[in-house]
Amino acid sequence: MLEVKGLHARVEGKDILKGLDLTVRAGEVHAIMGPNGSGKSTTAHVLAGREGYEVTAGSVLFDGKNLLELEPEKRACEGIFLGFQYPVEIPGVSNLTLLKAALNARRKYRGQPEIEATDFLAWVRDRAKLVKIDPKMLSRGVNEGFSGGEKKRNEILQMLILEPRLMILDETDSGLDIDALKIVADGINALRSPERATILVTHYQRLLDYVQPDYVHVLAGGRMVRSGGPELARELEEKGYGWLEAA
């Protein structure tokens, strides 16, 4: 599904990614771990297409298409979803407005008609239950006045509604208490299927207790320094990242 080869990327004149390789097949869950500043968030944003993230070498194919040529919104319509580490507040624009616009953009991209208002609301209500968000909150501005935990749950809600094929969650687990973490994990698991894939970008192993990854990668200095199964995450939790850098 996703094939990243020899990816180099630069942000504000600094080289962050230096030859990153990653292959994700449908049905898989990958965890990317690593110390702060290793390039985890950069990887997520380069995949989502953030402006100012300059790719200097390498390739990214998504279902065989060159992802790097696509604008961020086209990537989203292709089925990529980025859960933000710091979800953005947009005062005055309600969550429902954003969701409807996002859902219809995707449908239009696929040549489908716009969703009926009643179907849309029923769908949103149904999904909101999964992440325990009061539908009333959705009439408020996007993330406006939401607590940190609510913002993260809102990211998961958007993901559940948009049903992407590749979910990239950038430290969605950080700053959550254990209850919120479980809700977030339930949301991710609800979407797990043989057609979809997930990339969890995280600093801690905690989330991986609830969302079992197939592969764990360690990112350091802008490239994958180790890959393995779930046991690698536990090893990291015990030993920290120091031993990697020493190696």
Partner 1 sequence: MATQPQDIQELMRRREYSAGFITSIESETIAPGLSEDVVRMISARKQEPEWLLDFRLKAYRRWLKMEQPKWAHVHYPQIDYQAISYYSQPKSHKDGPKSLDEVDPKLLETYKKLGIPLKEQEMLAGVAMDVVFDSVSVATTFRKKLGEAGVIFCSISEAVREYPELVRKYMGSVVPFGDNFYAALNSAVFTDGSFVFIPKGVRCPMELSTYFRINERNTGQFERTLIVAEEGAYVSYLEGCTAPQRDENQLHAAVVELVALDDAQIKYSTVQNWYPGDEEGRGGIYNFVTKRADCRGRRSKVSWTQVETGSAITWKYPSCILRGDDSVGEFYSVALTHHRQQADTGTKMIHVGKNTRSTIVSKGISAGHGQQSYRGLVRVLESAENARNHTQCDSLLIGDQCGAHTFPYTEVRNPSARLEHEATTSKIAEDQLYYCRARGISEEEAVSMIVNGFCKEVFKELPMEFAVEAGKLLAVSLEGSVG
57-80 per-residue burial string, b: 16 or more CB within 10 A, e: under 16: ebebebeeeebbebeeeebbbbbb
114 touches partner 1 (CB under 8 A): no
Nearer to partner 1, 171 or 205 (CB): 171
Shortest distance, position 242 Cβ to partner 1, whole Å: 33
Q: State the Cα–Cα distance between residues 185 and 181, nearest whole angstrom.
A: 6
72 touches partner 1 (CB under 8 A): yes
Q: Find how far residue 130's CA is from the centre of its chain.
A: 18
Q: Segment near partner 1 (CB under 8 A), from 5-13, 32-40, 73-81, 212-220?
A: 73-81
Shortest distance, position 143 Cβ to partner 1, whole Å: 9
Residue indicated by tokens 């970008």: 201
Residue of 11, 9, 23, 6 lying closest to 199 (CA atoms) = 23
Residues with Cβ within 8 Å of residue 172, at least 6 apart in sequence: 83, 85, 152, 155, 156, 184, 200, 202, 207
Which of 2, 31, 82, 211 touches partner 1 by CB under 8 A? Answer: 82
Shortest distance, position 87 Cβ to partner 1, whole Å: 7
Residue of 235, 232, 202 lying closest to 34 (CA atoms) = 202
227 touches partner 1 (CB under 8 A): no
137 touches partner 1 (CB under 8 A): no
C-alpha distances in angstroms, 33 versus 39, 127, 218? 10, 29, 5
Q: State the Cα–Cα distance between residues 48 and 80, nearest whole angstrom.
A: 7
Q: In the window 150-179, what residues touch partner 1 (CB under 8 A)?
A: 158, 162
Shortest distance, position 142 Cβ to partner 1, whole Å: 8
148 touches partner 1 (CB under 8 A): no
Task: Say if CB 135 and CB 127 are below 8 A apart.
Answer: no
Q: Segment near partner 1 (CB under 8 A), from 49-57, 58-66, 178-186, 207-215?
A: 49-57
Q: Is 167 helix (H, G, I), strand (E, B) or coil?
A: strand
138 touches partner 1 (CB under 8 A): no
70 touches partner 1 (CB under 8 A): yes
Bridge-partner residues for 22, per DSSP?
4
Nearer to partner 1, 48 or 224 (CB): 48
Q: Find how far residue 49's CA is from the centre of its chain.
A: 13
Nearer to partner 1, 102 or 225 (CB): 102
Contact positions vs partner 1 (CB under 8 A): 48-52, 70-73, 75-77, 81-82, 84, 87-94, 97-98, 101-102, 105-106, 109, 141-142, 158, 162
